[in-house]
Amino acid sequence: MGCGARERGNYKKNDIVTVVIEDIGNDGEGIGKAAGYTLFVKDAVIGDLVEARITKCKKNYGYGRVEKVLRPSPFRVEPKCMFHRQCGGCQIQAMLYDRQLIYKQDKVKNNLLRLGGFTQEEVDGVMEPIIGMEEPWHYRNKAQYPVGYDKAGGLVAGFYAGRTHDIIANTDCALGAPENKQILEAVLSYMRENNVTAYREAEGTGLVRHILIRTGFASGEIMVCLVVNGKKLPAEDKLIERLREIRLNGREEESEPRASGSAVRQAEKFVPDSAAGSAGAMESGKRKLCKKITSICISANTEKTNVIMGKEIRVIWGGGKIHDTLGGITFSISPLSFYQVNPVQTEKLYRLALDYAGLTGRETVWDLYCGIGTISLFMAKRAKQVYGVEVIPEAVEDAGENARENRIDNVEFYVGKAEEVLPAFYKGAGTEEQMLRPDVIVVDPPRKGCDEKCLETMIAMGPGRIVYVSCDSATLARDLRTLCDGGYVLKRVRAVDQFCHSVHVETVVGLQRKDT
C-alpha cells in the first residue's frame, strides 16, 4: 500500500532514498531524515550516508533497511560474524565498540531524563562513565541453540533470524564459548547417526528443540542440556559417547566427572591466580584452563511454547550442576537457575554494587531477586546479616548450597516473590527495630522491574541505602522515580556493559534516604 500523504514526504514502500544517519534507536537501528521524513533504518550505523529501501510507512515516520552504504561512518567496523545482520543477537556489531559504549551510556541517561523525570543536573551530578570490556568477544557462559531443519530439509542448529523462528545454521557464534561449536556438531552427528529428529515447531512433532550449553569460566566445567519434546531420547548412551569423545582445547579429557562438592578445590586447581577472583586476570584471557564436559542432561518440554526449558531436568551423565568462581566465592549452578551471562563483567558489577552498599560489617542487608545468592554472598562477607529472596526454588537451593560450600553462615534465603515475602516479613517483624529497618536493600529484578508492592514496602522499611541493579534502564527509570518520590535521592549511577554488541545494558544505582 502506498503512503501518499504529504506528511509522509510522498514516500511509499520500496522507495529508495538517501539518508544521513544521525542517531541510534532503541533497537540499535540508525535514525535519519529523508526530506524531513524520519526513517528508522535497520543495520545503518550513526554517521553513515546510506541508500535505504523503505519497508514501511507511517504518518510521521517510516522504517527502512540499508541497500547500500554510500559513505561509511567513522564508527562502522567490519563485523566479526557473517550472520550478524540476520541474527537477532548482535544488533550493533557493525558499530565500533567504543561508540557502542557511548550509545549505552546515553541510553541510560536519556531514560533517566525522559522516563524517570530527573533533571539534567541531577543525572550529570551522579553518573559515572560506563564500564566496558577489554576483549568483548566470546564472553557468554550460556547459550541456547535452537535445533531444526533448513529449507532443504537438512538438520541444523544455530540461531533464530531476528523476530522469526527461522533457524540460521551457525554453530560458531562470536559471543559464545569457542568450544560450543565442537559440542553442537557432536550433538548433530549423534542425531544424524541415530535418526533422532529435530522439533518441528509448526506441527509440534519431532524431538530435539534446543541445545543449552553452560560453561563455568573459572572451573572449566561444561554442562550440555538437550531440551526434548518428550521424556527420552533414542540411544542416549550414544549421545553420551559422542560428547565424551570430544577433545576440548586439543587436550585429553579426564575420564570421569568429579563428584560435586569439591567446587572450591577444583576452581583453585584450574585457575591458581584467579581463585581470588581477579576480574583482570580473567579478562586478560591468559589463564590456561582445561575445559571439560562434566554434566549431560535432558530437559523435557512438550508444551507448545516459546519458553525454552522444561520444568524437569534429568541428568544422564555426570553431575547435575556446574561451578564458577567470582570474587573468591564459588557458585553451584543448576540448569534452571539464573546466572549472569558475562562473568568478567559480572564481577565488576557486583563489586560496584558492594561499593554502593557502603558496608562496614554491622549492617543488615536484603538482597531481593537474589537468584543463586551471588550478590547476597558478596555482601555477606562485609555485612552482619543478609536475607535473600528468590522465586525459583532450585535457585534458592543452589543459594543455600553456595553459602554452605563457601562457609558463609550469616545469610538466609527465602523462596517466594519479593513483593510477597518482603511485606509479609515486614508485617510479622513486630517492633524489632533492626528487622523493621534494614540498613541496605539490594534489588536486581528481571526486565519488567520491581512490583509496585515491593517498592512500597521498601519505602516503608526505609533502609538508609538502596542499591538497584537493573538490566532494563526504562523500568529502572520508572522505579527510581517511585523511590525518589518516596524519600530517596540518587547518589551514584553507573552502567556496566554485560552484553557487548547487543543493545542491552546493565546499570547499578546507589540511592540514599533523604533524612540520613
- Shortest gap between Cβ of 391 and ligand SAH (angstroms)? 4
Q: Which one of 196, 248, 297, 370 is in contact with ligand SAH (CB under 6 A)? A: 370
Instruction: Give the nearer residue to ligand SAH in terms of CB position, either 229 or 364.
Output: 364
If one asks whether residue 374 binds ligand SAH (CB under 6 A), the answer comes out as yes
Q: Which three cell numbers stand for residue 514?
A: 533523604
Q: C-alpha 477: how far from its chain's center?
A: 19
- Stretch binding ligand SAH (CB under 6 A), from 10-18, 26-34, 290-298, 383-391: 383-391
- Stretch binding ligand SAH (CB under 6 A), from 110-118, 258-266, 297-305, 390-398: 390-398
Q: Which one of 52, 375, 403, 411 is in contact with ligand SAH (CB under 6 A)? A: 375
- Shortest gap between Cβ of 452 and ligand SAH (angstroms)? 12
Q: Which one of 417, 453, 492, 504 is in contact with ligand SAH (CB under 6 A)? A: 417
- Stretch binding ligand SAH (CB under 6 A), from 98-106, 181-189, 261-269, 440-448: 440-448
- Shortest gap between Cβ of 371 and ligand SAH (angstroms)? 3
Separation between Cα atoms, residue 218 and residue 210, nearest integer Å: 25
Instruction: Give the nearer residue to ligand SAH in terms of CB position, either 48 or 472.
Output: 472
Q: Which one of 29, 43, 324, 444 is in contact with ligand SAH (CB under 6 A)? A: 444
Strand, coil or helix: what is 261?
coil
Instruction: Provide the pairing of β-strand 329-333 with 411-415.
Output: unpaired
How many CB atoms within 10 Å of residue 5? 11
**CB-based contact 301:307 (threshold 8 Å):** yes
Q: Which one of 369, 378, 387, 468 is in contact with ligand SAH (CB under 6 A)? A: 369
| Alpha helix positions (H), 226-342 | 236-245, 263-270, 279-283
- Stretch binding ligand SAH (CB under 6 A), from 115-123, 161-169, 370-378, 473-481: 370-378
If one asks whether residue 418 binds ligand SAH (CB under 6 A), the answer comes out as yes
Strand, coil or helix: what is 179?
coil
Instruction: Give the nearer residue to ligand SAH in terms of CB position, either 145 or 369.
Output: 369
Any bridge partners for residue 386, and if so which?
365, 411
Separation between Cα atoms, residue 512 and residue 463, nearest integer Å: 8
- Shortest gap between Cβ of 263 and ligand SAH (angstroms)? 17
Instruction: Give the nearer residue to ligand SAH in terms of CB position, either 239 or 440.
Output: 440
If one asks whether residue 389 binds ligand SAH (CB under 6 A), the answer comes out as yes
The length of the chain in residues reads 516
Give the closest residue to 322 by CA, choosing from 270, 279, 267, 377.
267
If one asks whether residue 453 binds ligand SAH (CB under 6 A), the answer comes out as no
Q: Which one of 340, 385, 475, 507 is in contact with ligand SAH (CB under 6 A)? A: 340
**CB-based contact 16:34 (threshold 8 Å):** no
Give the closest residue to 417 by CA, choosing from 450, 439, 394.
450
Q: Which three cell numbers stand for residue 75?
A: 564508527
Give the closest residue to 229 by CA, choosing from 337, 143, 146, 320.
146
Q: Which one of 2, 129, 280, 446 is in contact with ligand SAH (CB under 6 A)? A: 446
Q: Which of 57, 87, 297, 471 is catalytic?
A: 471
User: By CB under 6 A, how many residues form the interface with ligand SAH?
Assistant: 19
If one asks whether residue 395 binds ligand SAH (CB under 6 A), the answer comes out as yes
- Stretch binding ligand SAH (CB under 6 A), from 39-47, 224-232, 283-291, 444-452: 444-452
Separation between Cα atoms, residue 408 and residue 156, nearest integer Å: 45
Separation between Cα atoms, residue 487 and residue 496, nearest integer Å: 26
Q: Which three cell numbers stand for residue 313?
A: 531436568
If one asks whether residue 326 binds ligand SAH (CB under 6 A), the answer comes out as no
**According to CB under 6 A, which residues from 9 to 68 bind ligand SAH?**
none
Q: Residues 194-213 vs ligand SAH: string with x where CB under 6 A?
A: --------------------
Give the closest residue to 182 by CA, choosing from 226, 208, 213.
213
Per DSSP, which regions of 249-384 are E strands? Answer: 292-300, 312-318, 322-326, 329-333, 364-368
- Stretch binding ligand SAH (CB under 6 A), from 235-243, 313-321, 388-396, 428-436: 388-396
If one asks whether residue 347 binds ligand SAH (CB under 6 A), the answer comes out as no
**CB-based contact 347:279 (threshold 8 Å):** yes
Q: Which three cell numbers stand for residue 290?
A: 582445561
Helices 452-461 & 418-428, crossing angle to 10 degrees?
A: 30
**CB-based contact 296:224 (threshold 8 Å):** yes
Separation between Cα atoms, residue 214 and residue 323, nearest integer Å: 10
Instruction: Give the nearer residue to ligand SAH in terms of CB position, either 46 or 440.
Output: 440
Q: Which residue number places its CB atom closest to ligand SAH?
A: 371
Would you call 471 a catalytic residue per the annotation? yes
Q: Which one of 338, 387, 468, 499 is in contact with ligand SAH (CB under 6 A)? A: 338
Separation between Cα atoms, residue 248 and residue 226, nearest integer Å: 19
CA 156 to each of CA 48, 147, 197, 305: distance values in angstroms, whole numbers, following the listed order: 35, 6, 11, 20
- Shortest gap between Cβ of 436 and ligand SAH (angstroms)? 21
Q: Which one of 96, 169, 336, 392 is in contact with ligand SAH (CB under 6 A)? A: 392
- Stretch binding ligand SAH (CB under 6 A), from 141-149, 173-181, 299-307, 368-376: 368-376
The residues that touch ligand SAH, with contacts defined as CB under 6 A, are 338-340, 369-371, 374-375, 389-392, 395, 417-419, 444-446
Annotated catalytic residues are 471
